[in-house]
Amino acid sequence: MHETAESSESVILLGVELPSSQNFDMSMQELAGLAQTAGAQVVASYQQKREKYDSKSFIGSGKLQEVASMIEADQIDTVIVNNRLSPRQNANLETAFGVKVIDRMQLILDIFAMRARSHEGKLQVHLAQLKYMLPRLAGQGVMLSRQAGGIGSRGPGESLLELNRRSIRHQISDIERQLKQVERTRSTIREKRLDSSVFKIGLIGYTNAGKSTLMNRLTDKDQYEADELFATLDATTKQIFLKDQFQVTLTDTVGFIGDLPTELVAAFKSTLEESRHVDLLLHVIDASNPNHTEQEEVVLDILKDLDMLDIPRLAIYNKMDQAQDLVATAFPNIRLSLREPESRQILRRQILDEIEQLFLPFSIKVSPDKFYKLYDLSKYALLGSYQFNQESQEISGFIAEKNKWRLEEFYD
């Protein structure tokens, strides 16, 4: 079972839509999902259209009074703002509301702290939280003096507020040093993987699109999957046999989301880079989500930032059993529901077809005394069907450019 807050907090969502805002409604819906993932109960959602954010209180005075009245009437514990607040805005809102106020960035950091399992993942989240909280330690306000727990206080949590800046900077330096050591180890492993002849596949997609479900369908191994945001955080790499002895590695990483805190993008750079050195990306898309097109664009924007747009991609439109009138925008693609048993074979066949497109076709004649070498060749090449006989046999298939040298031993 996944972790949640010890007791469900009653929260109000608050968002401001500017003329320049994009996909505002989708962002507010995501905020509700994030709050629920963190263990909160969303009581109400308030939105306001403005030309710009109020520099002091983020929202206008009228909306401020309206929300304050709601908080007092319904015994609200927390207000979650769908934007990044300045330390001043955060403190002023807490003074006006008399309850804890956190922004979207702090909420995402909190969920990441809740979900991190590996040592590296915990270090990365801790670093992101420290960098986020450091500028918020200046001045005196409700935000800085509160000692309450709950949403927004996981990870460093309360103890962070009791530390001075020098101590926090020391922690940041220490964690960065530890992460550099982890990255050196990861780089060594990655280089060995790059030097290998194994075909590498990476899973990417918006959070809750179904990447962990896909991983489980292809590997027959359990990985936590749930209908919630950021169900998987730490990168996972597994090996699978796609056909005969042909083996590939499959890497799952954290799901993407719009407005990902810059602190997290920097902290998770090494984790996201696990997908930078693959031969094929499987882009999982939640076809049932009415905002799936916007979600696809977010993923593509992040891929562009990571310089990964040139990696071949296969789009997988998932949850087709719940989709309505899907208009595909990504090609090549496959449409299915990963919850259905037959999805496994459909998926494997399509992946093999994509790999064949990336490989070079070949045809060789194999004499009987070299038939035994076909077993090793099948580890690196996709071979067509063949039968052993007393005479030489022509074998066709597909093989990667870097492995073409393996065919030389079959030539007379």
Looking at 266-387, which runs of residues are DSSP E strands?
280-286, 313-318, 333-335, 360-366, 381-383
128 marked among binding-site residues:
no
Cis peptide before 135 (omega within 30 of 0): no
Rounded to 10 deg, the angle between the 211-219 and 343-358 helix axes is 90
| Alpha-carbon torsion (255, 261, 265, 271), positive or negative | negative
403 marked among binding-site residues:
no
320 marked among binding-site residues:
yes
- Cα–Cα distance for residue pair 210/218, rounded to 1 Å: 13
259 marked among binding-site residues:
no
327 marked among binding-site residues:
no
- Chain centroid to Cα 120, Å, comes to 16
- Cα–Cα distance for residue pair 398/376, rounded to 1 Å: 14
Nearest to 384 by CA among 400, 366, 372, 396: 396
329 marked among binding-site residues:
no
231 marked among binding-site residues:
yes
269 marked among binding-site residues:
no
Nearest to 199 by CA among 246, 253, 245, 252: 246
Environment class of 250 (CB within 10 Å of its CB; exposed 0-12, middle 13-18, buried 19+): buried
Please report, for residues 125, 131, 180, 262, 353, the alpha-carbon distance to residue 266 in angstroms, rounded to integers and kept in the order given. 11, 11, 13, 6, 35
- Cα–Cα distance for residue pair 404/150, rounded to 1 Å: 57
- Cα–Cα distance for residue pair 168/261, rounded to 1 Å: 19
318 marked among binding-site residues:
yes
321 marked among binding-site residues:
yes
The 10 Å Cβ neighbour count of residue 401 is 9
Contacts of 369 (CB under 8 A, 6+ apart): none
15 marked among binding-site residues:
no
271 marked among binding-site residues:
no
373 marked among binding-site residues:
no
- Cα–Cα distance for residue pair 339/318, rounded to 1 Å: 9
Please report, for residues 90, 113, 155, 406, the alpha-carbon distance to residue 85 in angstroms, rounded to integers and kept in the order given. 6, 20, 20, 58
Contacts of 76 (CB under 8 A, 6+ apart): 10, 11, 12, 43, 70, 99
The 10 Å Cβ neighbour count of residue 94 is 20
209 marked among binding-site residues:
yes
Nearest to 133 by CA among 105, 94, 96: 105
60 marked among binding-site residues:
no
122 marked among binding-site residues:
no
Query: Six-digit token pair at 340?
Result: 């259905």
386 marked among binding-site residues:
no
220 marked among binding-site residues:
no
300 marked among binding-site residues:
no
Pick out the residues of the known binding site for Mg(2+): 212, 232
Pick out the residues of the known binding site: 205-212, 230-234, 252-255, 318-321
Pick out the residues of the known binding site for GTP: 205-212, 230-234, 252-255, 318-321
